[in-house]
Amino acid sequence: MLLEVLRSKISHAIVTQAELNYMGSITIDENLMDAVGLYENEKVHVLNLANGSRAETYVIKGERGKGDIVMNGAIARMAQIGDQVIILSYGFIDEKQVKNNKPKIIIVDEHNRVSSKH
């Protein structure tokens, strides 16, 4: 049996921009994507710590090192600039591998740079 498990997590990222008039998605600094193994167009869940909202969208690669976390399209309604969000991705693995699953987890600082890895 396949189980869906946490694959990666970017914790406490700061929303830097919200673009309502856009097709949709979340733009993430490419350095953060690399740190947790996220791919462009991959589905993610975005949890807003300021208001408790949770949404699904897909990733757009942001400029490397710029620190961007941009809410695009409808998801822009769920966050304001300065809100902290958690970005999660999931993957399917065989249940025999669940005990060996080691998600890539990072915590970022106020400039959306990696401050710790877990």
3-state secondary structure the chain: CEEEEEEEEEEEEECCEEECCCCCEEEEEHHHHHHHCCCCCCEEEEEECCCCCEEEEEEEEECCCCCCEEEEHHHHHHCCCCCEEEEEEEEEEEHHHHHHCCCEEEEECCCCCEEEEC
Higher pLDDT, 9 or 23: 9
Q: Does residue 39 carry a catalytic annotation? A: no
As a dihedral over the C-alpha atoms of residue 70, residue 72, residue 74, residue 77, rounded to 10 degrees, the angle is: 30
Q: Please give the C-alpha separations between residue 22 and each of 4, 18, 38, 60, in angstroms, as whole numbers.
A: 30, 9, 21, 12
Higher pLDDT, 24 or 64: 64
Look at residue 34 in the predicted model and tell me its pLDDT. 98
Look at residue 70 in the predicted model and tell me its pLDDT. 98
Q: Does residue 58 carry a catalytic annotation? A: yes
Identified catalytic residue from 22, 53, 58, 90? 58
What's the fold here for domain 2-117? Barwin-like endoglucanases (2.40.40)
pLDDT in tens, 66-116: 999 999 999 999 999 999 999 999 999 999 999 999 999 999 999 999 999
Label residue 23 by pLDDT band (50, 70, 90). confident
pLDDT mean over 24-48: 97
Identified catalytic residue from 8, 11, 25, 89? 25
Show the tokens assigned to 40: 């462009």
Beta strands 69-72 and 17-19, pairing class: parallel
Look at residue 45 in the predicted model and tell me its pLDDT. 98
